[in-house]
């Protein structure tokens, strides 16, 4: 990004507050909401996870997003330049934050490839097969579901992954991300309506009520202290991921924001929208798991494959399910693309700045890196499935080091930086710019100075304290 301080409009800022919110939502709403949130909610206690997530979203998520946007708008720079310009000693924080999208992008594109595969399956009318197929293995007792069979192949997931990377890269190379604001304006509301419709349908299925209870009501019966820790760690990691926090994205977004728009208001809007989509996706998937499995615990613990295993069954049981499924997967693919485009764009702009390369060369470098690291994730689920890092498959490992290690470190250092070194006044002045009120000032200060840093330490030690935690 440019070195000099430019105003939002010179930097190609957003045309309106709504445009900004929808563009930010377009980048925030993606696979995190639709793929990641539901499987974590299913795995980590349903209602307990949901409640934990909501509490952290309105307190901690709010404070961190406000901080990042304020830093970006005040410095007018992207993440690396921003931290450096406030305090030279904190330049490494910018680098650490900037490294996160680089590691997320490859495996994000692998999952994006899975979505493309399912889009094709539904377009070609094979949705029922995705719901019911069973593949024999060399062991007579064991058979694979459609999803497990698909990811165990090497060629197919690789091809879809490459197609997905190319789709993302074309937009970034042509530099037409401006179109994202337009796409998001249309895409987000349509996606929301469709998800609401499918959620209502799912809730009418036999057995869904049990799932609804599990998802909505926090039931801590049998919860051990270590279970709470795991749930908190999973919820906060998800919060970072879903709201694109602790990775410098919101700093860059802030630098594009207009001075006259309310920071506090924008944060609230993005948060509400992002959380709503995640909540609704969970409202489809968790009750559906119960409806199709009778509440069997192992069905809830399917991890990253949960959405791909569950949704085809929902669509198969639904009138016009083939058509609705097709539309749904196309919209999810688009939502994923708007996110991966801004992920890649972020990485490319960091590479341009750091290595002083032009846009084309940076793009090519990032594409090669993405393909290289992404293929590792594909192989981790197929050829190399016996190879694990800390008991995790390669894709899960990338997810883990970014969400559970790097982002908490970035968040912790950001809190220390703002809370104790530059002081919260720095953010406050930006929030109250032009005579605006800072309504949550007390909450903000307490969060940044005390509660967030302590929580981050807790999260960082959790995986080491509890071995089986991922």
Which of 23-31, 185-193, 426-434, 456-464 is the region at the interface with ligand TRP (rule: CB under 6 A)?
A: 23-31
- What backbone torsions phi and psi does residue 134 show, to the nearest 5 degrees? -140, 130
Asked if 111 contacts 35 with a C-beta cutoff of 8 angstroms, the reply is: yes
Residue 184 Cα distances to 9, 15, 31, 364, angstroms: 20, 14, 15, 26
Cβ 290 vs Cβ 211: under 8 Å:
yes
- Binders of ligand TRP among residues 119 to 148 (CB under 6 A) are none
Given 20, 32, 112, 286, the residue binding ligand TRP (CB under 6 A): 32
Q: Which residue is nearest to ligand TRP (CB)?
A: 32
Q: Is 33 in the site for ligand TRP (CB under 6 A)?
A: yes
Q: Does the protein bind ligand TRP through residue 184 (CB under 6 A)?
A: no
Residue 457 burial (CB count, 10 A): 12
Supply the minimum distance, in Å, between the C-beta of residue 397 and ligand TRP: 17
Answer whether 106's CB lies under 8 Å from 374's CB.
yes
Instruction: State which of residues 8, 22, 27, 201 lies at the interface with ligand TRP (CB under 6 A).
Output: 27
For residues 340 and 168, the answer to whether their CB atoms sit within 8 Å is yes
Exposure string of 20-49, with b = 16+ CB inside 10 Å and e = fewer, is bbbbbbbbbbbbbbbbbbbbbbbbbbbbbb
| Residue with the two structure tokens 């974590």 | 40
Q: Which residues contact 55 (CB under 8 A, 6 or more apart)?
A: none
Q: CB nearer to ligand TRP: give 205 or 285.
A: 285
Q: Judged by CB under 6 A, which of 1, 93, 104, 280 binds ligand TRP?
A: 104
Cβ of residue 338: shortest distance to ligand TRP, in angstroms? 8
Task: Indicate which single residue of 342, 349, 370, 440 sits in contact with ligand TRP (rule: CB under 6 A).
Answer: 342
CA distance 456 to 445: 16
Which of 407, 86, 389 shows the shortest CA–CA distance to 237?
A: 407
Q: Of 337-345, 411-419, 422-430, 441-449, which segment contacts ligand TRP by CB under 6 A?
A: 337-345
Closer by beta carbon to ligand TRP, 110 or else 249: 249
Residue whose CB is less far from ligand TRP, 346 or 349:
346
Each residue 222-261 as x (binds ligand TRP by CB under 6 A) or -, in order, gives -------------------xx-x--x-x------------
Contact region for ligand TRP (CB under 6 A) — 80-88, 219-227, 314-322, 338-346?
Answer: 338-346
If the CB atoms of residues 203 and 276 are measured against ligand TRP, the closer one turns out to be 276
In the block, tokens 């310009």 appear at 85
Tokens of 85: 């310009």
Q: Is 339 in the site for ligand TRP (CB under 6 A)?
A: yes
Number of residues that bind ligand TRP (CB under 6 A): 17
Q: Which residue, 63 or 229, has its beta carbon nearer to ligand TRP? A: 63
CB neighbour list of residue 29: distance below 8 Å, 6 or more residues apart: 188, 191, 273, 274, 277, 335, 338, 339
The residues that touch ligand TRP, with contacts defined as CB under 6 A, are 27-28, 30-33, 101, 104, 241-242, 244, 247, 249, 339, 342-343, 346
């Amino acid at each position: 990004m440019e070195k000099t301080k430019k105003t939002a409009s010179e930097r190609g800022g957003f045309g309106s507050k709504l445009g900004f919110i929808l563009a930010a939502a377009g980048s925030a709403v993606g696979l995190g909401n639709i793929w990641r949130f539901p499987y974590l909610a299913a795995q980590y206690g349903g209602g307990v996870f949901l409640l934990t997530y909501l509490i952290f979203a309105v307190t901690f998520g709010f404070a961190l997003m406000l901080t990042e946007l304020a830093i970006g708008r005040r410095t007018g720079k992207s993440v690396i330049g921003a931290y450096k310009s406030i305090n030279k000693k904190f330049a490494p924080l910018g680098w650490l934050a900037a490294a996160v999208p680089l590691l997320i992008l490859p495996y994000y594109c692998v999952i994006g490839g899975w979505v493309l595969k399912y889009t094709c399956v539904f377009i070609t009318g094979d949705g029922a097969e995705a719901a019911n197929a069973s593949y024999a293995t060399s062991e007579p007792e064991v058979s694979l579901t459609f999803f497990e069979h698909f990811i165990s192949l090497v060629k197919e997931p690789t091809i879809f992954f490459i197609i997905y990377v190319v789709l993302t890269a074309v937009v970034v190379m042509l530099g037409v991300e401006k179109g994202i604001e337009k796409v998001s304006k249309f895409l987000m509301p349509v996606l929301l309506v469709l998800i609401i419709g499918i959620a209502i349908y799912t809730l009418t299925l036999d057995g869904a009520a049990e799932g609804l209870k599990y998802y909505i009501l926090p039931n801590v019966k049998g919860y051990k202290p270590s279970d709470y820790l795991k749930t908190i760690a999973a919820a906060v990691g998800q919060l970072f991921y879903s709201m694109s926090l602790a990775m410098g994205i919101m700093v860059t977004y802030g630098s594009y924001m207009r001075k006259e728009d309310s920071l506090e208001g924008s944060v609230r809007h993005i948060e509400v929208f992002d959380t709503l989509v995640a909540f609704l996706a969970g409202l489809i998937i968790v009750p559906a798991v119960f409806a199709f499995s009778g509440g069997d615990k192992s069905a809830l613990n399917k991890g990253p494959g949960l959405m791909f295993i569950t949704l085809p069954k929902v669509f198969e049981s639904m009138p016009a399910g083939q058509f609705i499924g097709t539309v749904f997967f196309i919209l999810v693919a688009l939502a994923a693309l708007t996110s991966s485009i801004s992920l890649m764009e972020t990485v490319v702009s960091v590479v341009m700045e750091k290595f002083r390369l032009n846009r084309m060369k940076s793009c090519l470098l990032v594409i090669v890196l993405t393909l290289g690291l992404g293929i590792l994730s594909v192989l981790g689920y197929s050829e190399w499935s016996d190879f694990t890092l800390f008991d995790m498959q390669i894709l899960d490992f990338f997810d883990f080091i970014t969400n559970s290690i790097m982002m908490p470190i970035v968040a912790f250092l950001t809190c220390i930086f703002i809370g104790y070194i530059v002081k919260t006044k720095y953010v406050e002045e930006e929030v109250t710019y032009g005579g605006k009120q800072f309504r949550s000032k007390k909450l903000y200060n307490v969060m940044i100075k005390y509660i967030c840093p302590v929580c981050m330490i807790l999260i960082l030690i959790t995986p080491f304290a509890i071995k089986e935690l991922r």
